[in-house]
Every structure is written in C-alpha cells, then in structure tokens.
C-alpha cells in the first residue's frame, strides 16, 4: 500500500499521464455531445412548441392565434399567451406548474376575459400510472370548465371538484394549478 502511495505522491509524470488521459477522454466526449446536441436541439424545440400549441388550442376553443404577453412574475406561473380569434381577445392561456405526487406537473389553463376557466390540459407530469393519471382524464379535467374564483378542495359538495380517490394528491395539484391561473388573471397579472 505504502509503495502505491509513494508513487502517486512523487511521480509527476504518472500524475500528468492520468490527467492528460482523462482530459482527452472528456474532450472527445464533450465534442461528441455538442454535435448531437446541435443536431437534436431544433427538433426538440419544435416538438415542445408544437405540444404547447396543441394544448393551447385545446383549452381555448375557437382561438386562431396565440401571442406571448408580458406578465408579472408570479409563483407557479411559467408562461402566458393571449388567445385571439382574428383580432378579438378571447382570453389567456396560462401555463402553471403545481407540485404533484411525483414532482412538478406542467399544465395549461385557459381563462376567458370574464375570468372563467375555458379548459385544462396537462403538458407533462410524473404521476403514478394508473392512480395519479386518473386525475388527468378528459372527464376529470372537464369539471373545471366554467369555474371562477377559487376552487376549494373539499370532496362531496356540489360546488367542488370531485376528486379521485387514490389520486388525492394529484387531483389537488391540478386544482392548485387551476387556482393559480385564476388568481393570476383576477389580480391582473397580465401587463
């Protein structure tokens, strides 16, 4: 053992060899990665843009054009787009990021000019398949359409969202996401 130790401490050439070998390997790796990254980046961006566009069209029926707008930085709000049908402002598509069971849920909430929900769509999530995902069916998400103000998380009562048993955290997270968007629009978050 002591022999090995001495070698590492005093043999400058050996240390240099180790460093240079590692440098060479990492340099080649970095070069390779930058090539692949440059090749795939436009495709990935295009896909993300497309997904976003599709979900905006879904939550704001009838809108033909979406334009990004300036907005006040608000916790949970990640992006805001104004939805137009020709020149008529229909409302806003607010992208929110509430915390679910398996991490952040990225979702799109459409809010019309009267401050009512026009639709909800999930962009990405890491909820449990078969449990949390039950709170992402179109039937479940349709419950939010038309809601205003603050939606409470109680179960049973008529005015509340029917939460899915076994997916309490996921349902609650989605309600949070809708509430964030409603509060954001009500408080005049769009500049």
Partner 1 sequence: MSGEAKNKPNLFKTLLNGIIFENPVMVLLLGMCPTLATSTSAINGVGMGIATTAVLIGSNLVISLLRKLIPSKIRIASYIVVIATFVTIVQLLLQAYIPSLYNSLGLFIPLIVVNCIVLGRAEAFASKNGPIVSLVDGLGMGLGFTLTLAIMGTIREFLGAGTLFGMQVYPNEFGAMLMTMPCGGFLTLGCVIAAVQFIRSRGKKGAK
Concatenate the DSSP letters of all residues of 87-104 into one string: TEEEEEEEEE--B-SSSB
The correct pick among 6, 16, 33, 89 for binding partner 1 (CB under 8 A) is 33
Q: Is 44 in the site for partner 1 (CB under 8 A)?
A: yes
Residue with tokens 């340099």: 27
The least distance separating partner 1 from the CB of residue 22, rounded to whole angstroms, comes to 6
Residue with tokens 């390997």: 25
Q: Is 23 in the site for partner 1 (CB under 8 A)?
A: no
Q: Is 89 in the site for partner 1 (CB under 8 A)?
A: no
Neighbours of 15 (CB within 10 A): 13
Using CB under 8 A as the binding rule, the residues of this chain from 113 to 152 that contact partner 1 are 124, 126, 128-131
The least distance separating partner 1 from the CB of residue 64, rounded to whole angstroms, comes to 26
d(CA 146, CA 118): 6
Q: What angle do CA 50, 51, 53 make, to 5 degrees?
A: 65
Q: Is 29 in the site for partner 1 (CB under 8 A)?
A: yes
SS3 63: coil
Q: Which residues bind partner 1 (CB under 8 A)?
A: 8, 14, 17-18, 21-22, 25-26, 29, 32-33, 36-37, 40, 43-44, 47, 124, 126, 128-131, 166
């Amino acid at each position: 053992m002591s022999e090995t130790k001495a070698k590492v401490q005093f043999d400058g050439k050996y240390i240099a060899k180790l460093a240079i070998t590692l440098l060479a390997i990492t340099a080649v790796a970095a070069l390779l990665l930058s090539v692949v990254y440059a090749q795939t980046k436009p495709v990935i961006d295009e896909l993300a843009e497309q997904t976003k566009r599709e979900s905006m069209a879904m939550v704001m029926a009838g809108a033909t054009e979406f334009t990004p707008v300036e907005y006040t930085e608000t916790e949970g709000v990640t992006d805001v787009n104004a939805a137009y049908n020709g020149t008529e402002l229909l409302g806003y598509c607010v992208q929110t990021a509430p915390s679910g069971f398996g991490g952040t849920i990225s979702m799109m909430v459409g809010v019309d000019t009267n401050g009512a929900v026009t639709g909800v769509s999930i962009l990405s999530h890491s909820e449990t398949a078969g449990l949390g995902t039950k709170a992402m069916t179109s039937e479940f998400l349709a419950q939010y359409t038309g809601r205003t103000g603050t939606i409470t998380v109680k179960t049973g009562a008529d005015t509340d969202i029917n939460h899915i048993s076994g997916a309490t955290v996921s349902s609650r997270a989605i309600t949070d996401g809708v509430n964030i968007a409603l509060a954001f629009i009500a408080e005049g978050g769009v500049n």
